[in-house]
A and B are shown apart, each in its own frame.
Chain A
Amino acid sequence: MELSQTIPLLLGLAWLLPLASFAVIVLFGPRMGKSGVLSGHVATGAILTSAVLSLLALALWLEKHGVQEPQQPEHDSHGARRMSTVRRVTHVAENEPEHADEFADGPADRPRGIQPLFGSWYSLGTFGSEGASRFPPLRVEIGYYIDTLTICMFAMVGVIATCIHFYSLAYMHEELDDVTDHEVTLPDGHHLHRPGRFPRFFQYLSLFCFSMLGLVIAGNLAMVFVFWELVGICSYLLIGFYYERKSASTAANKAFIVNRVGDFGMIIGMMALWGSLGTFTFGGPDGVFALVRPASQKHHLVVPDGMVRAAARDQIAAGVAPTSTQINAWRQDGYGYGLLVIAGLGVFCGCVGKSAQFPLHVWLPDAMEGPTPVSALIHAATMVAAGVYLVGRFFPVLTPEVLLVIAYIGGITLFIAATIAITATDIKRVLAYSTVSQLGLMMLSLGIGGWLAGLYHLFTHAFFKALLFLCSGSVIHACHTNEMPRMGGLRKKMPWTAYTMLIGCLAISGVGIPGFLGLSGFYSKDAILAQAFSFADSSGHTLLLVAATAGAAITSFYMFRLWYMTFAGSPRDKHIYEHAHESPSVMYLPLVILAVFAVGVAWTMPLTPLSLENLLEQARPKGAQSAGQIWTDLTIPEEHASHEFHDQATLAATAMWVIGILLATAFYGVRSLDPEDVRVQFAKLYSFVRHKWWFDEIYAVLFVQPVLLLSRAAAGIDRRWIDWLVDRSAGWTVGVSRVDDAIDRWFVDGLVDRIANSTYSLGLALRGWQSGRLRRYVMWIVVGTVGLFVLISWFLELAVAGS
């Protein structure tokens, strides 16, 4: 089969398999094996298969397209550095001549073009008809848009999800039989005792995998939105998995509602797109990308005609003919640019909600109420990254202004979350906040034009954060508490977990030896930092640079704080320490696998250009960054330009992680400094950060209370006025019905009775024929037949004779 059919087929299968397992588990879940234990295996098998399929697709893709050498200008300094690193096996000499033309015509039409595969599997419906408006009819399709990014995402999601499924098999085992939930106390003082929900868990997981993959492979914005909501609902269901716990159900609702806020923005963005362009599809000649960055314009950002016309509708209404020249004139005047910005911002709003960016980041930490594998899969590796992914996917449409907004939102998020993570003591919350801040980092990087860097970090982060979460899960599994202060010294008890987690921490702190080798985080972070440097350099937004750098430091600090508090030192809670134990192998083997990925996912396969970075490079959207039209002095630097800053980026990153780790070691490792002192020293600051910057409280005051008040008022009105009205009308109705009743009794009934009586007497008359003699009936049938035949033939003769 031709590759362009094979790949969608493979990915489509990989996408649908979890759905199948979901269906199976929904139907037969509890009946599969003893209390549904098989459902776990079904789900695991499904996701394993789709992971294999995705990897197969990746292999096919590589085998078709290969991987180009990264084609960025090499400066001798980097040249030396590159030569010495394993990452890039390229030669300065070869790349030297390329500079000139590259800088000449910009990256727009660099021969990076691997055409993405796009198409439609199934059309859900077509709204509007051809030629009814100036738009093509809106086709809501199940389509696909596959480029290297998609395939990599598939592989990543597949692998991680598989690991996590295996892990969950063991982690959720107590759900197999009845569970006594010690966190729920019933009114009668006992703890809640409920049947296990093993199959339900895996059915949700499968549904989630299906939705996530669908979101990744989606070929148009509408489909993205659908699966966007699907992953939302999955996360809702899984956060509220222990829905008897008040905290869990509130957390689930919180996550759901907060996400709705974001999705509202997203819907606005979609409306802006649809209302002006009349299409949702990404790919294709009339797809969004092609409209915004037409190849004719060397893929530069161009406000599409549709938006221009939409903006200039008054003139058109006034009778100005929208000829192409006129439209160009309008475009020069900046018509429709606002729409583009709105579209970008709207879509980004969705991403803000989904990947917990600054105003809406509050849900993610609470989402940790869900089972740990869920936190690992959904709230660390995949779903929350979906926002970043969507920004990356939508990158071509985003104007510099939007990008700047994104960058700042990301920066703020990064910083806030990082600070909160320092003081959090709940092991999962620490990780949650670190997730938030890492997502902020990615957003920031995307916002400052570091497309590759951002997505690069998305991948590496997915691996080590999933690893970290699973480790924390195994810790919690071992000591049945989330509170780090009650742990400590677990290193000896659970070596596997401890050291895999150590690897995770190193990876996330971006540890590496500059110029030689590093863990995955190292590469992605210094790519981001480099971009931040170049951005700060080109357009003096230094704050972002500071945020990114500081963030890096804080990250490594709290990660090691976490590790030391959990594994190092002496046990603080004897009881817990006694009962702690290493998790079963099915739990720590995934850890090992993920650890391997966390270390090596960013490495280059020796002697080949094959590396994650170069892979993503293939998917980089065409088109150069243009200057903003609203903030005209704003230009997002090209990413390839950031390589001259690689040195200071690397240095900064290294310095940051060194500082962070040293601090953490000082505070929690060797305890030469006492955190308590600091806490006392900055009591106000501490409580401020400890209370998560009072976000929840502020929101409570700003939004929740007003809504409550409003609803109370509404209830009052309801009771006082509407009820009164209803009672009255009821009274009237009674009166009317009395009259009606009389009419009914006298006229209608009289009529009906008469008919009934006559029918009855007729029946009495006819019943004599009903002899009940079967054979008599047969006789009559035969007689009737003969008679009929005779009659008919006779009449026929008559007719013939008559004619």
Chain B
Amino acid sequence: MEPINWHTFFFLLFSLVACAFAVAVLISTNIVRMAFYLTLSLGATSGLFFLAGADFVGAMQLLIYVGGTLVLLIFGVMLTAQGPFISMKTAGGEWVLATIVGGALLALLLQTAFSVNDWHGPAAATPSHFGAREASSDPLTQPFTPATETASVRTASVTRGAKPAGEPSPWSEEAPRTATRLGMGLLGARVDLLEQHDDTLRHGMSGYLLPFEIVSVHLLVVLVGAAYLARAKRRARN
């Protein structure tokens, strides 16, 4: 029998968990449970990120989203957790309306997702790309296990030759060190683009120092603002 593609396996696992709990969030009425489901959904999503090779983003998701944001939310939940608000029913009509509109949107998105042929996955390759395809799809057929890197990836990365070393699957030896690159990118040095042999792609790509600064300032402002609001409310109370 053909070997299980563990990437697919875990993808299905995580995506199912994520979607299922997302829907659970949607249909649950108990706000605390919603938060809990959301946690699980986000956790599963971070798993998806790891699968997609974005290990740093995944960890970030876990740390900030699941860790920070949701703790914050649960805070709110508990601060406002009083009988009537725990579960607030929604009128059926709105449900219908939401379903229709959401369905439309979903249909639209799905249609878009499958509209492009190249996106169906590495297998759907034109023969011209075959060597490269073989190479870069190779790690995917590798069983999913930490740091498994058998000769095939080696050869793959060798045969790939010209192709930048950033490409192999995230669990192989040459796994892209997204952490470092992201760090450098945020500091304005796009080290990943050194490997970008295609000038048209390298062209116009720059670092993210300014957005980084802006975001950090923004965060500061937000913290101050949040603190202020919180204080203001306490004053309002007494």
Contact = CB atoms under 8 A, between A and B. Distances in A.
Complex contact flag A–B (Cβ < 8 Å): yes
Interface of A: 775, 779, 782-783, 785-786, 789-790
Interface string B89-113: 0000010011001101100100000
A786 B108 contact: yes
A349 B198 CA distance: 69
Nearest to B97: A779
Contacts of B104: 782-783, 786
B101 A775 contact: no
Contact of B98 (A779, A785, A789, A790): A779
A649 B98 CA distance: 110
Nearest to B98: A779
B108 A775 contact: no
Contacts of B97: 779
B108 A783 contact: no
A408 B101 CA distance: 101
Among all A-B residue pairs, the 6 with the closest Cβ atoms: A782-B101, A786-B104, A782-B105, A786-B108, A779-B101, A786-B105
Given A786-B101, A786-B108, 6 more contacts: A775-B94, A779-B97, A782-B101, A786-B104, A786-B105, A789-B108
12 contacts: A779-B97, A779-B98, A779-B101, A782-B102, A782-B105, A783-B101, A783-B104, A785-B105, A786-B101, A786-B104, A786-B108, A789-B108
Nearest to B104: A786
A48 B162 CA distance: 61
A786 B111 CA distance: 12
A772 to B, nearest CB: 15
A775 B91 CA distance: 12
A775 B108 CA distance: 21
Contacts of A782: 101-102, 104-105
Q: Is the interface of A mostly helix, strand, loop or mixed?
A: helix
Contacts of A783: 101, 104
Contacts of A789: 108
Q: Is the interface of B mostly helix, strand, loop or mixed?
A: helix
Contacts of B108: 786, 789-790
Nearest to A786: B104
Interface of B: 94, 97-98, 101-102, 104-105, 108
B148 to A, nearest CB: 42
A782 B108 CA distance: 11
A789 B98 CA distance: 19
B38 to A, nearest CB: 17
A785 B98 CA distance: 14
Contacts of B101: 779, 782-783, 786
A773 B101 CA distance: 16
A305 B105 CA distance: 84
A242 B212 CA distance: 51
Nearest to B90: A775
Contacts of A790: 108
B175 to A, nearest CB: 37
Nearest to A789: B108
Contacts of B105: 782, 785-786
Nearest to A790: B108
A783 B98 CA distance: 10
Contacts of A786: 101, 104-105, 108
B176 to A, nearest CB: 33
Contacts of A775: 94
A777 to B, nearest CB: 12
Nearest to A783: B101
B52 to A, nearest CB: 25
B106 to A, nearest CB: 10
B232 to A, nearest CB: 21
The winner among B94, B98, B101 for most chain A CB atoms within 10 A is B101
A785 B106 CA distance: 12
A790 B105 CA distance: 11
A639 to B, nearest CB: 60
A242 to B, nearest CB: 44
Nearest to A785: B105
Contacts of A785: 105
A789 B108 CA distance: 8
B212 to A, nearest CB: 28
A146 to B, nearest CB: 38
B184 to A, nearest CB: 30
A789 B101 CA distance: 14
A364 B105 CA distance: 87
Nearest to B101: A782
A775 B90 CA distance: 11
A794 to B, nearest CB: 13
The winner among B97, B98, B102, B104 for most chain A CB atoms within 10 A is B104
B215 to A, nearest CB: 24
A761 to B, nearest CB: 32
A779 B98 CA distance: 7
B25 to A, nearest CB: 15
Contacts of A779: 97-98, 101
B91 to A, nearest CB: 10
A775 B97 CA distance: 11
A275 to B, nearest CB: 46
A783 B94 CA distance: 14
A146 B102 CA distance: 78
A112 B81 CA distance: 90
A784 to B, nearest CB: 10
A779 B95 CA distance: 11
B130 to A, nearest CB: 31
A797 to B, nearest CB: 13
A728 B94 CA distance: 74
A790 B97 CA distance: 19
A216 B109 CA distance: 74
Contacts of B94: 775
B118 to A, nearest CB: 19
A406 to B, nearest CB: 58
A783 B102 CA distance: 9
A783 B104 CA distance: 8
A788 to B, nearest CB: 10
A786 B94 CA distance: 18
A783 B108 CA distance: 11
A785 B102 CA distance: 11
A238 to B, nearest CB: 41
B114 to A, nearest CB: 15
A786 B102 CA distance: 10
B131 to A, nearest CB: 34
A550 B104 CA distance: 109
A133 B101 CA distance: 75
B102 to A, nearest CB: 7
A790 B109 CA distance: 12
B161 to A, nearest CB: 39
A785 B107 CA distance: 13
Nearest to B107: A786
A783 B97 CA distance: 11
